């Protein structure tokens, strides 16, 4: 199993094979940004775990041409900022499952589908205890590129969730296909803002979006995070991750 654990600005327990290149470097500047680079060179699966307090990150993931990759992000950050940037070459296929339990965090997720026939599938499960801001920017540049953005974000009692989803399809990008389907779930009086945007510059694209805010009458952290997981290894990793960072105090 390929696995990388990042705690604050240090990498721990790195177990990766030759199909994956990884580098981490912290710039001692005014902003003190930790830069992480991952390159997937052949078909592969990766578990990436990040835990931090008062840090800033830029995580760049490149998927080479023709590569099919699965990445599982397990994320617990406090008072931190993360910018994810995914770049997919021709016929690259990237599947991401992102499990997140954050406090006072900001995220930007940028996707660049530069190759013809590239495909990006992203599914998120996020628990928000405090103020949480997430911005998604998906850029379709390659012909017949595909993006699917799905998942559930739970806003708990003191949670304030602000999300903006922006998908861009260029004028010379033909037969692109994009789906936006995120749900923000309010529990015990959380506050939410969900702003979907579509910027389409040609008439050959297939567009679907079904973003919504709804109310939860009951909430259980285990059910929310792992009830849809059928992969034994993934379920074990998520369960151990939740146990390590502590259970909900708002239940």
- Residue the block writes with tokens 């922006």: 166
Q: Is residue 229 part of a domain?
A: yes
Give the pLDDT confidence score for residue 248 in this predicted structure: 45
At a CB cut-off of 8 Å and minimum separation 6, what does 111 contact? Answer: 86, 88, 120, 122, 136, 137, 138, 139, 147
Number of domains observed in the structure of the chain: 1
Phi, then psi, of 196 in degrees rounded to 5: -85, 140
144 conformational bin, left if phi > 0, alpha if psi -120 to 50, beta if neither: left
191-108-80-223 Cα dihedral, nearest 10 degrees: 60
Give the pLDDT confidence score for residue 250 in this predicted structure: 42
Q: Is the model's pTM score more than 0.85?
A: yes
Tokens coding 10: 């240090």
Q: Is residue 250 part of a domain?
A: no
In whole angstroms, give the CA distance from residue 122 to residue 78: 23
Q: Is residue 158 part of a domain?
A: yes
Give the pLDDT confidence score for residue 74 in this predicted structure: 96
What tens-digit pLDDT sequence spans the chain (251 residues)? 899 999 998 898 899 999 999 999 877 666 788 999 999 999 999 999 999 998 999 999 999 999 999 999 999 999 899 999 999 999 999 999 999 988 888 999 999 999 999 999 999 999 888 888 899 999 999 999 999 999 998 888 778 888 899 999 988 999 999 999 988 888 887 777 888 888 999 889 999 888 888 888 888 888 999 988 999 999 999 999 998 887 544 44
Domain, as residue range, for 91? 2-245
In whole angstroms, give the CA distance from residue 71 to residue 87: 14
Give the pLDDT confidence score for residue 116 in this predicted structure: 97
Q: Is residue 251 part of a domain?
A: no
Q: Is residue 6 part of a domain?
A: yes
Q: Is residue 224 part of a domain?
A: yes
Q: Is residue 12 part of a domain?
A: yes
């Amino acid at each position: 199993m390929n696995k990388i654990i990042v705690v604050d600005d240090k990498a721990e327990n790195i177990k990766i094979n030759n199909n994956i290149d990884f580098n981490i470097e912290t710039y001692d500047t005014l902003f003190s940004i930790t830069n992480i680079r991952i390159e997937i060179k052949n078909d592969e699966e990766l578990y990436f775990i990040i835990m931090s307090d008062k840090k800033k990150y830029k995580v760049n993931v490149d998927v080479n041409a023709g590569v099919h990759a699965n990445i599982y992000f397990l994320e617990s950050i406090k008072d931190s900022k993360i910018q994810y940037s995914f770049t997919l070459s021709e016929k690259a296929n990237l599947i991401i499952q992102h499990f997140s339990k954050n406090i006072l965090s900001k995220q930007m997720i940028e996707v660049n589908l530069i190759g013809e026939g590239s495909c990006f599938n992203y599914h998120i499960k996020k628990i928000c205890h405090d103020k949480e801001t997430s911005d998604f920017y998906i850029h379709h540049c390659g012909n017949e590129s595909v993006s699917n953005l799905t998942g559930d974000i739970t806003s708990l009692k003191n949670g304030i969730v602000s999300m903006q989803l922006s998908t861009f399809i260029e004028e010379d990008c033909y037969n692109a296909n994009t789906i936006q389907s995120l749900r923000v779930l309010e529990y015990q009086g959380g506050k939410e803002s969900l702003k979907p945007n579509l910027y389409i510059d040609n008439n050959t694209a297939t567009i679907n979006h079904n973003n919504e805010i709804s109310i939860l009458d009951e909430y259980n952290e285990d059910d929310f995070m792992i009830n849809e997981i059928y992969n034994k290894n993934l379920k074990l990793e998520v369960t151990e991750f939740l146990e390590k960072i502590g259970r909900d105090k708002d239940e």
